[in-house]
Chains A and B, each alone.
Chain A
Amino acid sequence: MAEHDSSQYYVPAQSPWPIVGAVALFMIAVGAGNLVAHLSRTGEPGWGRYVLIAGIVTILAMMFGWFRDQIKESRAGLHNEQLGVSYRQGMSWFIFSEVMFFAAFFGALFYARMISVPWLGGAGNNEMTNVVLWPQFEAIWPLVTTPDGTQTQAMGYMGLPLINTIILLLSSITIHFAHVGLEQNKRKQLFWMLFVTVLLGCVFLFLQVEEYIHAYQDLGLKLDSGVYGNTFYLLTGFHGMHVTLGTLFLIVMLFRIRAGHFTVDNHFAFQSSVWYWHFVDVVWLCLFVFVYVL
């Protein structure tokens, strides 16, 4: 069991930020719900978009305020070692929950590839499924022709996806050296290695957008192009959102390093940003293998 700093327990004071966060999530849910429903019914975004934007602004303000208070308290030396352990464990479990979120979509991908598409093609004892429903349907992956005849083209792994893989792998290395820099108190190495990581993250996101444009315009690979397009966009899209958040996280770390934050033994926020970055990297590797290569 963990060693306790048993002379002193730390309980943070009351804070207004959690309730602000709850209100923000409420606005996001109501706004997004209205926006989505309105958009699909009328093709026009309704009032929901304003509520959604207000919610996002509020939650950003909440994060800013909450973390600012937290940083102040930490730098005032109020936190103890036990709280540091709690933070690290909390972050680890959060990342585990993110892994399970992606697992749902990987599960959908594997199910489509190994079960639903082969069965529609008549595999196993499902010959009549094929004959009765869509006799002309052939089960191949990537699914470029769906049972109801939607056509698309597959995204190869050469070119942009491969370049992006190399970029993310590189960024995992640079962020590792930034971490090493912090641990050895080499602030310059820390800053510049992190700076390069942020740049690589931005390049990755830029190329991802390019890839989407290429997919939509040249390949006709769209979000609604059957289950191949669905899994492609939801997996890469949610990954892209996580890279965006991770990049923002790292940018905040850059500012904090500039402000002289973090010491050799007190750098939870930085450490968790590194963990998070490695996590999006690992997700990408799985994506690259299962969505693009295989």
Chain B
Amino acid sequence: MTTVTTANESATPQEHEHHGPEKGIKRWLYTTNHKDIGSLYLWFAFIMFLTGGAMAMVIRAELFQPGLQIVEPHFFNQMTTVHGLIMVFGAVMPAFTGLANWMIPMMIGAPDMALPRMNNLSFWILPFAFAILLASLFVEGGGPAFGWTFYAPLSTTYSGDSTALFVFSVHIMGISSIMGAINVIVTIWNMRAPGMTWMKMPLFVWTWFITAFLLIAVMPVLAGAVTMVLTDKFFGTSFFDAAGGGDPVMFQHIFWFFGHPEVYIMILPAFGIISTIVPTFSRKKLFGYASMVYATASIALLSFVVWAHHMFTTGMPVYAELFFMYCTMLISVPTGVKVFNWVATMWKGAISYEVPMMFSVAFIILFTFGGFSGLMLAITPVDFQYHDTYFVVAHFHYVLVTGAIFSLIAATYYWLPKWTGVMYDIGLAKAHFWCSLISVNVLFFPMHFVGLAGMPRRIPDYSVQFADWNQIISLGGFAFGLSQFIFLALLIKACRKQGEPVDAKVWDGAEGLEWEVESPAPYHTFTKPPKID
């Protein structure tokens, strides 16, 4: 049966002639509802976050002491590889897509995503893709062990048979991402309520619009890269083999042409979240809205011309090193604009520190810290020393864990009452915040020291001089991992509606259409476009 919604008097419809969710498993398998699909994405991402986290625990357990104690080196390599793949493609990206699904239609006054059935397909590909990836750990010869960047010749000459499974699972998760991104971009372009002009869109919508563009532009390049790995490994081509006229460094160029925009795919929506939360709890309008939009677009465009800063040590010509160094440093300008705007928004605001704001302020400080270590890595001659050390690991975990993941947690604490209709357990949330904040810094901060002292990344053993710091790092890691169970408990409680019911407008300083519909948000919102002034 097809639902055709007709004009309704109320802009925030309560009850309608159209049906609510179906019962049972079919609701989730067949759904076309953006809220259902958003919830599926978010839960999937959280499960993957715990799975990838468990692998990180294996890594930290092995690195607790020098020497080999717990796992074989080959298995250690599989853990670092699959940890990275799962966190990037299984946790951070689907979590942002889940937020996009839940929030964008409500924020722009649309009834749903533009292409709801394709939306469902985008989601359901993911569990299958990751089932393949995880299952590949158990095939003969083990799973992917070449790092999440699968550099040739590690992924070609020296990899196992499971590489084929890896390649095809990346293909189908790429299909999922591209369809998801097309859906987001078309929704934003075509489904905005009348009066919701481009420059009135909430920044979360803007950042996702630009992120979706990046996804459509670079996920196919990743598909090309894995295809060439497949043919090099199994069909005798030599794209990445100098003996046939190719070049292993060419792999890195193609991969990072995808990979660098990819890191902005994982951080631009985070910028949107922080730009939403900070004004709410500062009780001020966002400082410099337009400059935020232009900064986001500039970061996205620049992200296409900086990829080789991942490859300074490959022996590129000097003019290329300089070009990529300068372009990379240029990105800090729009990023700085953002950080200053957040701080300026807080300046003289009536700030209150509810949990989303706590995570947001932590984000601003710690992400900026990760940004600074990025700036250090951008300096070519300095990068020669830092390359492939724990300094790099520290850098990208500051931007991804205290950046992307913290923003996702902040977003969850911000919108969870809207999703469930009840206020979550604030005591647990604060415990989650403080445990995470302290442990994450114990975990990642000392990595700068061991990195600068020369400890290489992706190696299961290390020189005894690094032993003390590595023990501390591992303890921080275990603590951070355990802290996430507080989050899990809180989420389960909230989803079981244990807590005080909340009003439509959960936070008194919040602005936006999503706060005009009741909490929990009804199954269908905005079947008639709301009026926006």
Contacts and interface: CB of A to CB of B under 8 A. Distances in A.
Interface in B184-214: 185-187, 189-194, 196-198
A87 B182 CA distance: 10
B220 A223 contact: no
Interface string A206-243: 00000000000000000110111111001000000000
B234 A39 contact: yes
A38 B245 CA distance: 27
What DSSP secondary structure best describes chain A's contact surface?
helix
Interface string B106-117: 000011101111
B450 to A, nearest CB: 35
Contacts of B246: 112, 116, 227, 230
A94 B131 CA distance: 26
Contacts of B120: 15, 18-19
B131 A14 contact: no
Given A13-B3, A18-B118, A89-B190, A146 B132 contact: no
Given A25-B175, A93-B185, A101-B224, A224 B237 contact: yes
A100 B218 contact: yes
Contact of A111 (B132, B238, B250, B317): B250
Contacts of B219: 97, 100
A230 B125 contact: no
A252 to B, nearest CB: 19
A4 interface: yes
B223 A101 contact: yes
Interface residues of B, number: 93
Contacts of A16: 29-30
Contact of A97 (B161, B163, B220): B220
A168 B30 CA distance: 41
A267 B225 CA distance: 36
B129 interface: yes
A104 B132 contact: no
B242 A147 contact: yes
A90 B109 CA distance: 20
Interface stretch (A28-36, A157-165, A282-290): A28-36
B1 interface: yes
A116 B245 contact: yes
Interface stretch (A78-86, A174-182, A268-276): A78-86
B230 interface: yes
Contact of A13 (B1, B239, B249): B1
Contacts of B185: 89, 93
Given A9-B527, A143-B245, 17 more contacts: A7-B6, A11-B524, A14-B22, A18-B117, A33-B169, A37-B165, A66-B117, A93-B181, A94-B178, A108-B228, A112-B250, A120-B245, A148-B243, A223-B237, A227-B246, A230-B244, A230-B246
Interface of A: 1-2, 4, 6-19, 21-23, 25-26, 28-30, 32-34, 36-37, 39-41, 66, 73, 78, 82-83, 85-87, 89-90, 93-94, 96-98, 100-101, 103-105, 107-108, 111-112, 115-117, 119-120, 124-125, 133-134, 143, 146-148, 150, 223-224, 226-231, 234
Interface of B: 1-7, 22, 26, 29-32, 110-112, 114-118, 120-121, 124-125, 128-129, 131-132, 161-165, 167-169, 171-172, 175, 178, 181-183, 185-187, 189-194, 196-198, 216-221, 223-225, 227-228, 230-231, 233-239, 242-247, 249-250, 253-254, 257, 317, 524, 526-529
13 contacts: A9-B5, A9-B527, A15-B32, A30-B132, A33-B162, A90-B114, A94-B182, A223-B231, A223-B237, A224-B236, A226-B244, A230-B239, A230-B244
